[in-house]
Copies of this chain bind each other. A is one copy, B any other.
C-alpha cells in the first residue's frame, strides 16, 4: 500500500520504517524540522520519501495520523480534505505529562462509589468474566488473567491483591483510585469483545511485560 504519514515523531517514524521494510511505500510529513524529516525518510530506505501533510494525503491509500492530541487541529488543517481515504488514527488524547486523557474519561464508578462511602478504604478491581470465575480454572489458554486494581490506601490494596491471587489471577497495581477511569473502560473492552464481537465469555486481558 501507499501510506501517507502525518506526524513524524517516535510513533509515526517507527511504524513508517517498519512498513517500508515490509515493502509498502511511505511518505513522511508534519515535522517542525524539515531536515529531520528528510533524514527519517532517507533512513527508511528507497520506499520512503517526505513531503507536506497535503502531499501525504494525495500519496496515501492509507493516511496514518500520529500527532500529539494538541496538534490535531493544526495537522488536519495542513492535511486538507481526506475524501474517501482510510484515515488510520493512532492518536490518544494523552495529557502532555502522560497523567491522563484530555477527552473522554470524566469520572469512574469507583470514584462515584468512594464519594458515597468516604470512610471506607475503596479499592477497585474489575475481575474477569463471571463465567470464568465460576469455572474450575480461572486461566485462559493456560495463562493467568491480568487483573488491574487501584486505590489510595496501600494496606487495603495489598489485601485486595492477595484476594485476587487467591483466585489464581495476576494482580496488577495500577496506582491511585483515579486509575479506575482506565481500568473500567478496559474492562468494558473485554465485555465488548465477548458480547459485542461475539467471542463469548472466555476472553480476558493480560499485561505483557519484560
Contact A179 B189 (CB under 8 A): yes
Q: Which of A13, A148, A209 has the most CB of B within 10 A?
A: A209
Per the CB 8 Å criterion, the residue count for chain A at the interface is 112
Contact A98 B166 (CB under 8 A): no
Q: Which of B76, B88, B202 contacts A163 (CB 8 A)?
A: B88
Contact B185 A101 (CB under 8 A): yes
Contacting residues, chain B, for A113 (C-beta < 8 A): 65, 72, 76, 87, 89, 91
Contacting residues, chain B, for A82 (C-beta < 8 A): 117, 119-120
Contact A145 B208 (CB under 8 A): yes
Which residues A88-135 have CB closer than 8 A to chain B? 88-94, 98-110, 112-114, 116-117, 119-127, 130-131, 133-134
Closest CB in chain B relative to A70 CB, distance in Å: 11
Instruction: List 11 A–B pairs whose Cβ atoms lie within 8 Å, in order of A's numbering.
Output: A24-B163, A62-B160, A84-B121, A87-B121, A88-B159, A93-B108, A98-B191, A104-B107, A181-B188, A203-B207, A205-B207
Closest 8 CB pairs of A and B: A10-B130, A14-B133, A185-B185, A87-B120, A182-B189, A140-B208, A82-B120, A186-B186
User: Which residues from chain A sit less than 8 Å from chain B, CB to CB?
Assistant: 1, 3, 9-11, 13-15, 18-19, 22, 24, 61-63, 65, 69, 72-73, 76, 79, 81-94, 98-110, 112-114, 116-117, 119-127, 130-131, 133-134, 138, 140-141, 143, 145, 148, 153, 155-156, 159-160, 162-163, 166-167, 172-175, 179, 181-193, 195-197, 199, 202-210
